[in-house]
Amino acid sequence: MPIYWQTTVSDDAPRHPSLSWANWKNDKFQAWNRDAQIEEEIKLPESFIIVAEWRCVKWYLADKGWVWSNEVYSFAKEPLTIRSNNGEILYSWLWADIKDKVKALWLKLTKNVHYVDPDKTDELRTFCIKGAWLKAWLETFADENKFAAANHLVCFDKVENWKTWSVKYTFPRFSICDALSQEQKNVQQSWWAKLAAYQEKVNTTADEAKNDEVAKNDVDELPF
């Protein structure tokens, strides 16, 4: 079962507002259906409102299973708490302090794009970007379009074919569309507030878990 949404472990932990987490796989978007326990294809709307772009770390390790971190807006300012599926905290600190340890485990950096369909504004959904697709996404929102996603609809443009040496793959391309209406901006801000409230709860939980880990190991600093 793919782990796309967890940032905390216990049953009473805060639940992420997003209903689905899609990855680009086999030339289409696929997401894990938590109720049906199956992976299913997700159709993106022709255009959508981006609520937030947050970063995290996640991957599958043979000896620990799925490993993931909390989401952050800025690696430079916000600490990551990286944990395994059994709740073990592997690292918890700023990215600059743990990046070498994370890269040594081959964990993958991922950008989570939280979005809303303009025709279904009561639902927040997410697609996850990594690898070649991340490069394409950054190119779309570079230079003069750097802040366009905050004020415009984004459109799913096309599927692009690519080849690196003998490996062929595809990834989706996006483009900037019409400016957001005031009503759409209100939707964006409302969902942003819900995400921020969720983040605050997650960060509180992570701080408590980190303090428990320090106490358990009876040391003066985090057990790297």
CA dist 184 → 43, 103, 140, 160, 217 (Å): 21, 39, 21, 29, 49
φ, ψ of residue 122 to 5 degrees: the values are: -90, 5
Instruction: Copy the structure tokens of residue 46.
Output: 């022709």
Give CB contacts under 8 A, 24+ apart, made by 97-105: 98/224, 101/224, 102/57, 105/59, 105/61, 105/67
- pLDDT (tens digit, 9 = 90+) per residue, 124-141? 999 998 877 787 888 888
CA dist 172 → 130, 177, 217 (Å): 12, 16, 46
**Contact indicator for 81, 94 with CB cutoff of 8 Å:** no
Determine how many CB atoms are found less than 10 A away from the CB of residue 103. Answer: 12
- pLDDT (tens digit, 9 = 90+) per residue, 66-82? 888 889 988 888 888 88
**Contact indicator for 69, 128 with CB cutoff of 8 Å:** no
Supply the DSSP symbol for 36. T
* 7 confidence band (pLDDT: 50, 70, 90): very low
* 218 confidence band (pLDDT: 50, 70, 90): very low
**Contact indicator for 6, 65 with CB cutoff of 8 Å:** no
- pLDDT (tens digit, 9 = 90+) per residue, 148-160? 989 999 998 888 8
Q: What is the pLDDT of residue 120?
A: 95
- pLDDT (tens digit, 9 = 90+) per residue, 86-126? 878 888 888 888 888 877 877 778 899 999 999 999 999 99
Q: What is the pTM of this model?
A: 0.81
Listed residue (20, 45, 40, 46) closest to 28, CA to CA: 40
